[in-house]
């Protein structure tokens, strides 16, 4: 009977794959498609050369980290929480959206998704209200980017009954425990964010990348106006474009100027005046008339009379 007993066939040792010793960075870059987003950023934003350079530097860091991972050289993923500082209307929200796209395509977040919040979305008005609000916002943003505009308003030391500190503590914990699944971008004025970080060193220590957004120059704002008008399928007449340049030069010296945001508002009002002018005129309108913003539509602004 012993002859009927058979031993299992000896298993062959699996062939070991040779360790990968190199990676083609050009292929990795092309496969990620982040070049498309960087090009889109160049098209969308006039000027802002330091910002675009900084975003490209961050993208390069992440791409190299991917190359290291392929060769088994990487340990922890780089810290990705950021601060965007600058005056209103300098493109912080737009860049946050593009940054989310880069992070998603390189695999650092699950979703190309940005949730924008302010203090009112995070801080409650009574005991027990703040934690649920903050956790709900974090839940919506998980897997993507949480963009906190004017983040320094979370901290109000002059008010002993303020609940902002509770929101900060929850954010700090989640930023640490879920840093592989959530990127937080704090935005606002540079001096106020620096004060906020000084008062909240735990938050400051978690921010790895600081991007400063400069104000636009006058000529850049005119180019932004051209881009906005074209995107709306309008055009500025020669006189209107000259008037727009004068408007920009005057408006930049006035209170509450908000860079590109102020230009967008000015164009919205110019379109309103154009519509009323054409309505009052009546009669037959051709495509050129419907698309053209005239000099009078710009010069009717109060900026020229103040």
How does pLDDT run across 264-285, given as a tens digit for each residue? 999 999 999 999 999 999 999 9
Q: CA 19 to CA 266: how far, in whole Å? A: 61
pLDDT higher than threshold 60 for residue 286: yes
User: Mean pLDDT over all residues of the chain?
Assistant: 91
For each of the domains in the chain, give its residue range(s) and CATH number, in order of start.
25-213 (3.40.50.300), 218-304 (1.10.8.60)
Q: CA 253 to CA 239: how far, in whole Å? A: 22
Q: CA 180 to CA 65: how far, in whole Å? A: 14
- Percent above pLDDT 90 for the chain: 80
pLDDT-based confidence at 169, cuts 50/70/90? Answer: very high
Residue pLDDT, tens place only, 77-121: 788 999 999 999 999 999 999 999 999 999 999 999 999 999 999
State which of 65-74, 130-139, 155-164 shows the largest mean pLDDT: 130-139
pLDDT higher than threshold 70 for residue 49: yes
What's CA 228's distance to the chain center, in Å? 19
Token pair for 201:
């060193």
Residue pLDDT, tens place only, 55-66: 999 999 999 999
Q: CA 92 to CA 84: how far, in whole Å? A: 6
Through-space distance between the first and last CA atoms of the chain, rounded to whole angstroms = 112
pLDDT-based confidence at 135, cuts 50/70/90? Answer: very high
Half-sphere exposure of 233 (CA within 13 A, CB side): 4
Q: CA 102 to CA 54: how far, in whole Å? A: 13
* Residue 206 CB neighbours (<10 A): 18
Q: Is 300 helix (H, G, I), strand (E, B) or coil?
A: coil
Q: CA 162 to CA 154: how far, in whole Å? A: 9
Instruction: Read off the pLDDT of each residue in 186-212 and give the average, rounded to a whole number.
Output: 94
pLDDT higher than threshold 60 for residue 290: yes
């Amino acid at each position: 009977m012993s002859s009927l007993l058979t031993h299992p066939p000896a298993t062959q040792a699996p062939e070991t794959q040779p360790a990968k010793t190199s990676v083609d960075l050009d292929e990795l870059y092309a496969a990620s498609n982040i070049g498309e987003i960087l090009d889109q950023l160049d098209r969308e934003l006039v000027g802002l050369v330091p910002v675009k350079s900084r975003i490209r530097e961050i993208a390069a860091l992440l791409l190299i980290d991917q190359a290291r991972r392929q060769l088994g050289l990487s340990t922890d993923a780089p810290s990705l929480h950021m601060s965007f500082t600058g005056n209103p209307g300098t493109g912080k929200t737009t860049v946050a959206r593009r940054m989310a796209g880069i992070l998603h395509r390189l695999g650092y977040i699950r979703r190309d998704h940005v949730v924008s919040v302010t203090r009112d979305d995070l801080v409650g008005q009574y005991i027990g209200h703040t934690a649920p609000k903050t956790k709900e916002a974090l839940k919506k943003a998980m897997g993507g980017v949480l963009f906190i505009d004017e983040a320094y308003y979370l901290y109000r030391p002059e008010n002993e009954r303020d609940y902002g500190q509770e929101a900060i503590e929850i954010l700090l914990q989640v930023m640490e425990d879920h840093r592989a699944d959530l990127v937080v971008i704090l935005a606002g004025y540079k001096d106020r964010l620096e004060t906020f970080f000084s008062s909240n060193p735990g938050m400051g220590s978690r921010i790895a990348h600081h991007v400063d957004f400069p104000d636009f120059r006058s000529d850049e704002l005119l180019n932004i106006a051209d881009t906005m008008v074209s995107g709306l399928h309008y055009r500025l007449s020669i006189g209107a474009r000259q008037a727009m340049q004068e408007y920009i030069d005057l408006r930049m010296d006035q209170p509450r100027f908000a860079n590109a945001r102020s230009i967008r508002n000015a164009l919205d009002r110019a379109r309103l005046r154009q519509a009323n002018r054409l309505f009052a005129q009546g009669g037959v309108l051709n495509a050129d008339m419907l698309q053209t913003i005239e000099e009078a539509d710009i010069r009717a602004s109060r900026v020229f009379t103040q």
